[in-house]
């Protein structure tokens, strides 16, 4: 009998997918002891009251399976919040589902409505899960660029991309990676463009509470024509500084949510019970998310002021999210974005993320992205190092 082992292989469902740039840069940052302004997560703690609420829920025995769509008290709190903020009521029983983070929510929304051969429009640069999600559903990715430099939507290009096979469009505002925020006029233009079609909207609003300079977040929920065709996606991890908890939610009309839940029940079934109860209790106080724009705008302004005063970076607008994009062409116009980020990490010990991986074709603009969701001392240490450029 042979003792030789057999190497089993399977045809890849995602043959073009490798290790994400976030993983690569975070590993490089750790290897060199760099200040990690690359991957988008806070390096500060959440409110201790939220942690206490989880402990209390566990101690009260709330540790078994919750209902598949989420505990009712949390769905009710989500519904009340959305109605207060966006003046649209989602029925907590049939139109709100708690998810294992926003990434799972987006995948589930795509899997529930996209059939093989359907087309889904994505606006590049975009979050890196969108394309693989569409491929897993058997759909065709239709990539439409946002306007280079300003990253505003080009509705002529979007209109030209819509065909009888278009099933959905994914819109992300506030936007990762560019930090732009769609205006009310742009959201109304989207509504007018989609009006004669059956195209669904997946509205990625995970940074909904991170908008600056008095700028409003215009949710798809706030525009009836969009709300009736939209899966609205948000993230407790982003809002409450607990990205590792991986809890988010989706709100959608009952008919769409019924299909969403069919998939949800078979890919995660349900989400961490004590955390759901803790979030419901914590949401009774609206101030943590209502105060978030001011909280992050102060960090944004601190970081931008340091970059402006002591570096040759050209700062792009940061209207929302917790990202700051910069043009480094005045420093070195000859090096690719990925190589420039490697140089920052290995020579100055500050990690950033190139923008090119957010495009399928690796479009180069000499722009990199920093995350300012960090302690003040972390940002100041990074600024001291970047001043050496």
Cβ-contact 110, 168 below 8 angstroms: yes
26 located within any domain: yes
Which CATH number does the domain housing residue 351 bear?
3.90.1150.10
pLDDT-derived band at 373 (thresholds 50, 70, 90) equals: very high
Q: Is residue 332 part of a domain?
A: yes
Q: Are residues 295 and 261 in the same domain?
A: no
Three-class secondary structure of residue 354 per DSSP: strand
Which tops the pLDDT comparison, 30 or 308? 308
Q: Are residues 79 and 137 in the same domain?
A: yes
Mean pLDDT of the chain: 96
Tell me: do 255 and 151 sit in the same domain. Answer: yes
137 φ/ψ angles, rounded to the nearest 5 degrees: -80, -5
- Measure the CA–CA gap between 172 and 189, rounded to whole angstroms: 15
Mean pLDDT of 82-90: 98
Calculate what percentage of the chain has a pLDDT beyond 70. Answer: 99
CA torsion angle 297 302 306 307 (round to 10): -20
pLDDT of residue 4: 61
What's the whole-number mean pLDDT along residues 360-379?
96
> Helices in 195-320 by DSSP H: which ranges?
224-227, 236-239, 254-267, 273-282, 287-290, 292-310
Number of domains in the chain: 2
Residue 36 domain-assigned (yes or no)? yes
279 and 301 assigned to the same domain: no
Confidence of residue 39 (pLDDT cuts 50, 70, 90): confident
Residue 8 in domain: no
9 assigned to some structural domain: no
Select from 285, 301, 335 the last residue of a domain. Answer: 285
Torsion of CA 123, 126, 130, 135, to 10 degrees: 70
Whether residues 109 and 181 fall in one domain: yes
Picking from 285, 302, 337, the residue at the C-terminal end of a domain is 285
* Average of per-residue pLDDT across 16-36: 87
- Note whether residue 362 is domain-resident: yes
Residue 1 confidence (pLDDT) above 60: no
Assign 186 a pLDDT band (cuts: 50, 70, 90): very high
Q: Taking residues 276-305, what's their average pLDDT?
A: 98
Same domain, 277 and 331: no
- 133 pLDDT above the threshold of 80: yes
Is the pLDDT at 5 greater than 90, yes or no? Answer: no
Rounded Cα distance, 12 and 60, in Å:
45
Domain that holds residue 102: 48-285
Kindly state whether residues 33 and 135 are assigned to the same domain. no
Does residue 259 carry a pLDDT above 70?
yes
Q: Is the pLDDT of residue 2 over 70?
A: no
Give the pLDDT confidence score for residue 3 in this predicted structure.
59
**For the segment 141-161, what is each residue's pLDDT rounded down to a tens digit?**
999 999 999 999 999 999 999
Inform me whether the pLDDT recorded for 90 exceeds 70: yes
Assigned token pair, 85: 């903020």
Residue 14 lies in a domain: no
Q: 32 and 123 share a domain?
A: no
Say whether both 298 and 149 belong to one domain: no
Instruction: Of 4-13, 80-89, 129-138, 221-230, give the lowest mean pLDDT range.
Output: 4-13
In a domain, 238, yes or no: yes
pLDDT recorded at residue 18: 79
Partner residues linked to 211 by β-bridges:
320
Q: 178 with 147, same domain?
A: yes
Looking at the fold, whether 119 and 267 belong to one and the same domain comes out as: yes
Residue 129 has pLDDT above 80, yes or no: yes
Give the pLDDT band of residue 26 (cuts 50, 70, 90).
confident
- Output the domain CATH number for residue 72: 3.40.640.10
pLDDT at 20: 79
Query: Is the separation of the CB atoms in 367 and 327 below 8 Å?
Result: yes
Tell me: do 301 and 281 sit in the same domain. no
The pLDDT value recorded for residue 16 is 85
Q: 100: closest CA among 243, 256, 258, 303?
A: 243
Which domain-ending residue is among 252, 285, 318? 285
């Amino acid at each position: 009998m042979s003792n030789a082992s057999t190497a089993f292989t399977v045809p890849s469902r995602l043959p073009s997918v490798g290790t994400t740039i976030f993983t690569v840069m975070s590993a490089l940052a750790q290897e060199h002891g760099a200040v990690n302004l690359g991957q988008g997560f806070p390096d500060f703690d959440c409110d201790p009251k939220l942690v206490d609420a989880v402990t209390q829920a566990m101690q009260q025995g709330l540790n078994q399976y919750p209902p598949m769509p989420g505990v009712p008290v949390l769905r009710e709190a989500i519904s009340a919040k959305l109605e207060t903020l966006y003046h649209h009521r989602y029925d907590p029983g049939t139109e709100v589902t708690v998810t294992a983070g926003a990434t799972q929510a987006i995948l589930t929304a795509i899997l529930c409505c996209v059939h093989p051969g359907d087309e889904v429009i994505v606006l590049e640069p975009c979050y890196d899960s969108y394309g693989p999600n569409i491929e897993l559903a058997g759909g065709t990715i239709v990539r439409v660029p946002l306007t280079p430099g300003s990253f505003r939507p080009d509705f002529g290009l979007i209109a030209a991309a819509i065909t009888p096979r278009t099933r959905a469009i994914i819109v992300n505002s506030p936007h990762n990676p560019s930090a732009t925020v769609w205006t009310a006029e742009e959201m109304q233009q989207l509504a007018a463009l989609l009006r004669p079609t059956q195209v669904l909207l997946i509205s990625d609003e995970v940074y909904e509470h991170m908008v600056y300079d008095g700028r409003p977040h215009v949710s798809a929920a706030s525009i009836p024509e969009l709300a009736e065709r939209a899966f609205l996606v948000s993230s407790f991890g982003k809002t409450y500084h607990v990205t590792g908890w991986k809890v988010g939610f989706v709100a959608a009309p009952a008919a769409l949510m019924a299909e969403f839940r069919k998939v949800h029940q078979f890919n995660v079934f349900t989400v961490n019970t004590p955390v759901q109860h803790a979030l419901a209790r914590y949401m009774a106080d609206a101030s943590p998310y209502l105060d978030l724009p001011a909280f992050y705008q102060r960090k944004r302004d601190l970081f931008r002021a340091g970059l402006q005063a002591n570096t040759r970076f050209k700062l792009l607008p940061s209207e929302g999210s917790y990202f700051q994009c910069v043009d480094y062409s005045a420093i070195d116009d000859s090096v690719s974005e990925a190589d420039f980020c490697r140089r920052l990490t290995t020579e100055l010990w500050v990690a950033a993320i190139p923008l090119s991986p957010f495009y399928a074709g690796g479009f180069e603009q000499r722009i990199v992205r920093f995350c300012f969701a960090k302690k003040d001392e972390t940002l100041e240490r990074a600024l001291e190092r970047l001043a050496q450029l």
